[in-house]
Amino acid sequence: MIEICIVKPTFLRKNYRLDVAKLRKAQRWLRTKTETETIHRALELAADEAELAKALKELLERGRGHIEDASSGRR
């Protein structure tokens, strides 16, 4: 059984002082059209990176810091 949960995002109006050069650089790098979209995508990427770091830490702890190439057939 597959269960799907849809969460409606909550939006708040906030005012921040941002470095314009960093915002423009992020906008070019992310290829976003608006500043708001840029900030949303940057926050998504930061959250994804945190999840990846956590997963990698757990993987390293389980493997006691040793990672092998499973496709090579060697140990």
Q: pLDDT tens digits, residue range 13-70? A: 889 999 999 999 999 999 999 999 999 999 999 999 999 999 888 888 887 766 676 6
Is 51 domain-assigned? yes
Is 44 domain-assigned? yes
Is 45 domain-assigned? yes
User: Domain residues for 25?
Assistant: 20-60
Is 9 domain-assigned? no
Structure confidence at residue 1 (pLDDT): 67
Note whether 20 and 28 are within 8 A (CB). Answer: no
Structure confidence at residue 8 (pLDDT): 76
Is 49 domain-assigned? yes
Burial track 16-55 (b if 16+ CB lie within 10 A, e otherwise): eeeeeeeeeebbeebebeeeeebbebbeeeeeeeeeeeee
Number of domains in the chain: 1
Structure confidence at residue 34 (pLDDT): 96
pTM: 0.66
